[in-house]
Amino acid sequence: MNIGLKKVCEALLAHDRFLIITHQSPDGDTLGSGFGLYYGLKQLGKRARVVCSDEFPARYNFLFQDYQDDSFDPEFIVAVDLADKQLFGSQYASLADRVDICIDHHPSNTRYARGVLLKPKAAATCEIIYEVLKGMGVTFDERIGTCIYTGIATDTGCFRFSNTTVNSHRIAAHMMRYNVKIGKINRLMFETKTQSRIAIEQQVLNSIEYYFDNRCAMISVTGDMLKSTGATECELEGLSTLPRQIEGVQIGVMLREKENGDFKVSIRSNDGFDASKICGLLGGGGHVKAAGCVVKGGLENAKKVLIETIAQFV
């Protein structure tokens, strides 16, 4: 059931012990949303925990330096930036049917939670978390501002993507009032790469294949690539944008092999193509220009399925 901002604020204020769930393969928006909400609730004297089925990536350590894990029986469960039950991951999949409120910006949200605060026009879930914190009377500070800014910056590609709005800039500017180190954050998020990330990037670039008169470019990340480079899952963030950066490419596809041999697919599209519709035919979803799904079977089968599906749109 869709619920408004006021009811979400009332529900959060009415409870005291919160479990905040972020999606698997966590990125800046889900972590910024989760920890931003955590710091806000703690400021109001409430108990909260932030969890994820996957380990929090080390590159986001600055978001949770002041986080204190707490053990308690939660009375209220909140999912942030988590559009589908499939994204809970194995460790917290059992809680998918117990979520009280999901706060999200993905148009493909499956509305699995008892209540959903969904704003698909928001560039990042952190923009909605900002409004929630404001509605609860939380006082913004550097910690919260860092979380909110990071989520917005990462989901807008440092304010370069077309999902960036006036509101994105307005909220980011507000957060800058609280001594948020935007230079340090931007450098860490967009200009810093590990040696293993450079190594996997080289192999991925060598895997590029072109289709449909070079309007579609596809890259692959296999388990063997990860082993040979020593790259971890969290170091793959941002790789999916590489194919779309190639001149003339309108649909960029990245296939990433999972432990069970299936492939997680990320599609990034330029004007004129709806990535969410392509992924929707394969059981996934997302945004118009950024979406994902999972294709079963080996690499060659995954490529075949994707090309046949994309062919319906080009």
> What does 231-288 look like in DSSP terms, one character per residue?
--GGGGTTGGGTGGGSTT--EEEEEEE-TTS-EEEEEEE-TT--HHHHHHTTT-EE-S
pLDDT at residue 259, rounded to an integer? 86
Main-chain phi, psi angles of 189, to 5 degrees: -75, -35
Residues 190-210 pLDDT 10s: 999 999 999 999 999 999 999
Nearest one of 20, 18, 44 to 32, comparing CA atoms: 20
Cα gap 306→279, rounded to integer Å: 9
* CB neighbour list of residue 201: distance below 8 Å, 6 or more residues apart: 193, 239, 242
Copy the structure tokens of residue 187.
């450098």
Residues 96-126 pLDDT 10s: 999 999 999 999 899 999 999 999 999 999 9
The predicted model gives 216-226 an average pLDDT of: 96
Q: What is the mean pLDDT of the chain?
A: 95
DSSP 3-state of 101:
strand
What share of the chain in percent tops pLDDT 90? 89
Confidence of residue 149 (pLDDT cuts 50, 70, 90): very high
Confidence of residue 271 (pLDDT cuts 50, 70, 90): confident
209 DSSP β-pair partners: 218
Among 7-16, 42-51, 276-285, the minimum mean pLDDT is found in 276-285
Confidence of residue 238 (pLDDT cuts 50, 70, 90): confident
Cα gap 76→100, rounded to integer Å: 6
Main-chain phi, psi angles of 128, to 5 degrees: -75, -40
The predicted model gives 281-298 an average pLDDT of: 91
- Full-prediction pTM beyond 0.85? yes
The predicted model gives 127-144 an average pLDDT of: 98
- Residue 49 pLDDT > 90, yes or no? yes
The predicted model gives 9-17 an average pLDDT of: 98
Cα gap 287→105, rounded to integer Å: 9
pLDDT at residue 237, rounded to an integer? 87
Cα gap 129→135, rounded to integer Å: 10
Q: To the nearest 5 percent, what fractions of the chain are helix, strand and coil?
A: 45, 20, 40
Task: Please give the domain boundaries of the chain with CATH numbers for all domains.
Answer: 5-190 (3.90.1640.10), 195-310 (3.10.310.30)
pLDDT at residue 233, rounded to an integer? 84
